[in-house]
Amino acid sequence: MKAPAIQQGFADASDNLKKKGVSLDSSGVSIKTNRRAPTREEYLDATQRSFAKSSEMIAQHKDAFTTTASQRSKDQKAKTETAYRKTA
């Protein structure tokens, strides 16, 4: 009952993808494009830019990558150091 509808939906989706240059068959997926593949240098440059951008974002939002447990540990350490300074 539902199998023909699913098969038709798959066929429609497959046809739509073919129109966009994406072929799907039992061996996998192939994508046809009118752009050339990047050279090794272009690929490496893009990768380096991506790492640099990610590094900048991480530096700006360093607390976004802390866990609750590590934050508690950091807070406890700060409290201990403050208490130690007051007694010294």
Residue 87's pLDDT band (boundaries 50, 70, 90)? low
Q: 37-82, pLDDT tens digit by residue?
A: 899 999 999 999 999 999 998 888 877 777 776 667 777 777 777 7
Report how far apart, in Å, the C-alpha atoms of 58 and of each of 28, 55, 74, 86 are. Answer: 36, 5, 19, 34
* CA quadruple 84, 85, 86, 88: dihedral, nearest 10: 80
Q: Tell me the β-bridge partners of 31.
A: 22
Q: Is 29 exposed, middle or buried (0-12, 13-18, 19+ CB in 10 A)?
A: exposed
What is the C-alpha radius of gyration for the chain, rounded to an integer number of angstroms? 27
pLDDT reported for residue 88: 59
